[in-house]
Amino acid sequence: MSVNAWLKSQRPLAGKALLLTVWLNTANGLLAINQAWALAVVLDAVIFKDADLSEVHHWLWGLLALFGTRALIVWLAERSAFQAAASVRATLRDQVHRHLQRLGPTYLSGQRSGALVETLTKGIDDLEGYYARFVPAMTLVMILPLAILTAVMPMDWLAGLVLLFTAPLIPLFMILIGSGAQARNQRQWKQLARMSAHFLDVIQGLTTLKLFGASRREVAVIARISDDYRHSTMQVLRVAFLSSAVLEFFASVGIAIVAVLIGFRLYGLAVPVPAWIPIPEITYLQGLFVLMLAPEFYAPLRNLGTQYHARMGAVAAAEQLIQVLDAEPTRIDPGTEPLAAARPLGVRFEDVHFSYEPGREALQGLNFDIPPGQRIALVGTSGAGKTTVVNLLLGFLVPTGGRILIGEQALAGIDLEDWRRHLAWVPQQPRLFQGSIADNIRLGRPEAEPDAVREAARRARAAEFIDALPLGYDSPVGERGAGLSGGQIQRIALARAFLRDAPLVILDEATANLDPESERLVQEGIDELALDRTLLVIAHRLNTVRRADRILVLDQGRIVEQGTHDELAGTGGLYARMIAAHGPRAHEGEQA
């Protein structure tokens, strides 16, 4: 769908407010014609008919009523124009954000958050120019000039013709000047997105820049990027200013011609047109009325010219929105069946293939079983495909071949939301969200009682350090867990998983960043957790996997061996070699 068609297709979201805006502005324009007439009558009466106040005062009171009514209409029109765009903006922001959520983490990993933030904030706001300004202006340009021509023609068709023939020049030149402007608007958007993405990246990595003494160097980069944005903004504005100057120029010329034609005839000079054209006679009243309407005639056209630029801003923003909305979620037809299997869950991978890009298979026909209630460990060197397996299980990726079974049910057919309700997951680098520690533990069960939160924290061995904080569970935490150590963040994430109480738990390096004692304690917690659940543990350090019922060894996208620790240690395969590489640390778990 073209951007224009898309923008049009969203118009119903504006509701009746858009129509109301047009009606109000039309009414205002019609009243302006009446006002010009009343004013012309008063001036004409006083100037040429020697009228005094008593003869014109009823016209003056009429004018006062017109002024008041028009002021009220202007106010209401502004309100309804804003309202029209407000509904579109609120709805679209929600829609686009929810679509991003459906696209999932895999899609987002290829995007820049700073740019997406701009799309969702300023991009949505820029749509206002289209719905609140351009669309009404577009409709009014077809109504008001015609209404004014209808009023002018009977008075003075000569001036009417001048208006009629100069009017199309304005949109013509507007289009000529604006033809390159769309590209400039797009460039401006790109610069803005780049600037925002860069700023966010720098802000999030400021400490790293300082560690490397690079934070001062960054000043030059910030200056350059800000300046590039200024440059592209000015390029857009220059066109807008130029076209508005041209519009003003043509409107002035049109009004001047009308004024000259009226003035000459009033003075009694010959109008410079061929003699065979019968020039209409004109009175001062008619002349003044027509002259006062001339600027009103051009006003909607000029306004359209101005709003045309607002439209281009909206189009550039809409392109970003469409880019997001057009992206297809990885899972094209989401499953609808509820999860059939009862807890604990069993999982089976049947010949599962996956590739991030054609020709490079990350998983090459994976076959394995995770029997219900068992504890399975997945080990392998970095890049072997462990995280891919997790992402497939979480439903963020879809196998390019083979299938994943949950019990006897294909994962592809299961409603993802229902499936995920049965999962708990602790990622390698857990993220904390804006809010308190309690909020973060409650992430998966917002209604959980404070006691349950405490119990989960205790089991994750997080209770002790949380209680030591001045605000305890109400301590605010930032995105990177400001003020907390890596091990503490890890334990909060674990508490999250404990509180979730899910039948299948996936722990990705859950005990990294912990000192041996905490690790041992957390491990005990995990043992408790494993009692009536299925557990998949991803590990680099092999001491944490010894207690697994079965160990799957992954190498270059294949399961190369599986068995218990003792079985595998004896075979002399990859696992045995990994243990050997582990050296003295392999026994660390036993010592602790």
Partner 1 sequence: MNELRRLWQLFRPYRVWMLVGTLAAILTLLANVTLIAAAGWFLTAMAAAGAAGVAMNYFTPAALIRGSAMIRTAGRYGERLVNHEATFRLIASLRVWFYQHLEPLAPARLQQYHSGDLLSRIRADIDALDNLYVRVLVPVAVANVSIVLFTIFLLFYHPLLALSGLTFLVLAGVGLPIWSQARGLVPGRRIAEDEAALRTAVIDGVQGLAELTLYGAAERQAQHIDSLSRRLIADQTRLSSDHGLTQAAVGLCASLSLWVLLWIAIPLVDDGRLMPPQLAMLALFTLASFEAVAPLPQAFQMLGRTLAAAHRLFAIVDTEPAVAEPSTPSPRPERFDIEFADVRFSYPDTPRPAVSGIRLQVPQGTRAAVIGATGSGKSTLFNLLLRFWAPDSGSIRVGGHDILDFHGDDLRRHIAVVSQHTHLFDATIRENLLIANPDAPQAAIEAACRVAQIHDFIAELPEGYDTWVGETGVRLSGGQGRRIAVARALLKDAPILLLDEPTEGLDAATERDLMQALDTLMVGRTVLLITHRPAGLDWVDQVLVLDQGRELARGDVSVVPQAMQAALLPLRAEAETR
Q: Which of residues 482-541 bind partner 1 (CB under 8 A)?
A: 482-483, 485-488, 496, 500, 509, 512-518, 521, 524, 540-541
Collapsing DSSP to helix, strand or coil, 89 comes out as: helix
Q: What span, in angstroms and rounded, lies between the C-alpha atoms of 290 and 148? A: 9
Q: Give the pair of three-digit tokens for residue 118.
A: 């701009």
241 binds partner 1 (CB under 8 A): yes
429 binds partner 1 (CB under 8 A): yes
CB of 139 to partner 1, least distance (A): 19
Q: What span, in angstroms and rounded, lies between the C-alpha atoms of 397 and 104? A: 9
Nearer to partner 1, 229 or 349 (CB): 229
104 binds partner 1 (CB under 8 A): yes
CB contact set of 455 (below 8 Å; sequence gap of 6+): 498
Q: Among 326, 337, 351, 417, which residue sits at the site for partner 1 (rule: CB under 8 A)?
A: 417
Give first-to-last CA distance, the chain, whole Å. Answer: 63
Half-sphere exposure of 541 (CA within 13 A, CB side): 16
175 binds partner 1 (CB under 8 A): no
Q: Give the pair of three-digit tokens for residue 356.
A: 């991030």
Window of 203-211, 309-317, 365-373, 403-411 that interacts with partner 1 by CB under 8 A: 203-211
105 binds partner 1 (CB under 8 A): yes
Nearer to partner 1, 4 or 121 (CB): 121
542 binds partner 1 (CB under 8 A): yes
CB of 440 to partner 1, least distance (A): 10
Nearer to partner 1, 72 or 172 (CB): 72
287 binds partner 1 (CB under 8 A): yes
Window of 151-159, 215-223, 305-313, 335-343 that interacts with partner 1 by CB under 8 A: 215-223
Contact 265, 301 (CB under 8 A): no
Helix axes 516-529, 486-500, angle to 10 degrees: 10
- How many CB atoms are located within 10 Å of the residue 115 CB? 21
Write each residue from 301 to 340 as x if it is in contact with partner 1 (CB under 8 A), else as -, in one continuous string.
Answer: ----------------------------------------
Window of 139-147, 176-184, 211-219, 347-355 that interacts with partner 1 by CB under 8 A: 211-219
Q: What span, in angstroms and rounded, lies between the C-alpha atoms of 263 and 333? A: 73
Nearer to partner 1, 212 or 276 (CB): 212
Helix intervals (H) in 49-112:
53-108
Which of 400, 421, 422, 413 lies closest to 346, judged by CA?
422
CB of 309 to partner 1, least distance (A): 12
CB of 478 to partner 1, least distance (A): 6
Q: What span, in angstroms and rounded, lies between the C-alpha atoms of 499 and 457? A: 8
Q: Tell me, what amino acid is at 79?
A: R
CB of 371 to partner 1, least distance (A): 23
CB of 343 to partner 1, least distance (A): 17
Collapsing DSSP to helix, strand or coil, 329 comes out as: coil
3 binds partner 1 (CB under 8 A): no
428 binds partner 1 (CB under 8 A): yes
89 binds partner 1 (CB under 8 A): yes
Window of 154-162, 192-200, 405-413, 564-572 that interacts with partner 1 by CB under 8 A: 192-200
Residue ranges in 563-582 that form contacts with partner 1 under rule CB under 8 A: 577-579, 581-582
Backbone φ, ψ for residue 572 (5° rounding): 75, 15
585 binds partner 1 (CB under 8 A): yes
Q: Tell me, what amino acid is at 409?
A: Q
Q: Among 52, 281, 447, 566, which residue sits at the site for partner 1 (rule: CB under 8 A)?
A: 52
| Element of type H or E holding 424 | strand 423-426
343 binds partner 1 (CB under 8 A): no
Q: What span, in angstroms and rounded, lies between the C-alpha atoms of 513 and 524? A: 16
Give every strand in the sheet of 423-426, ordered side by side: 423-426, 504-508, 534-539, 375-379, 550-555, 558-563
How distant, in Å, are the alpha carbons of 335, 475, 503 from that of 444? 22, 19, 14
Collapsing DSSP to helix, strand or coil, 23 comes out as: helix
CB of 5 to partner 1, least distance (A): 25
Residue ranges in 128-147 that form contacts with partner 1 under rule CB under 8 A: none
CB of 418 to partner 1, least distance (A): 10
Q: Among 82, 157, 173, 368, which residue sits at the site for partner 1 (rule: CB under 8 A)?
A: 82
Question: Total number of residues binding partner 1 (CB under 8 A)?
Answer: 172
- 545 sits in the region (left: phi over 0; alpha: psi -120 to 50; else beta) called alpha
Half-sphere exposure of 343 (CA within 13 A, CB side): 15
Write each residue from 347 to 386 as x if it is in contact with partner 1 (CB under 8 A), else as -, in one continuous string.
Answer: --------------------------------xxxxx---
434 binds partner 1 (CB under 8 A): yes
Contact 513, 487 (CB under 8 A): yes
75 binds partner 1 (CB under 8 A): yes
Residue ranges in 12-51 that form contacts with partner 1 under rule CB under 8 A: 39, 42-43, 46-48, 50-51
CB of 584 to partner 1, least distance (A): 6
Q: Among 90, 176, 273, 340, which residue sits at the site for partner 1 (rule: CB under 8 A)?
A: 90
227 binds partner 1 (CB under 8 A): yes
Q: Among 5, 219, 270, 277, which residue sits at the site for partner 1 (rule: CB under 8 A)?
A: 219
Residue ranges in 439-478 that form contacts with partner 1 under rule CB under 8 A: 443-444, 446, 464-465, 468, 470, 476, 478
Q: What span, in angstroms and rounded, lies between the C-alpha atoms of 145 and 562? A: 82
- How many CB atoms are located within 10 Å of the residue 408 CB? 9
Nearer to partner 1, 326 or 351 (CB): 326
Give every strand in the sheet of 401-406, ordered side by side: 360-370, 347-357, 401-406, 409-410
Nearer to partner 1, 276 or 359 (CB): 359
Name 369's bridge partners: 348
Q: How many residues does the chain have?
A: 592
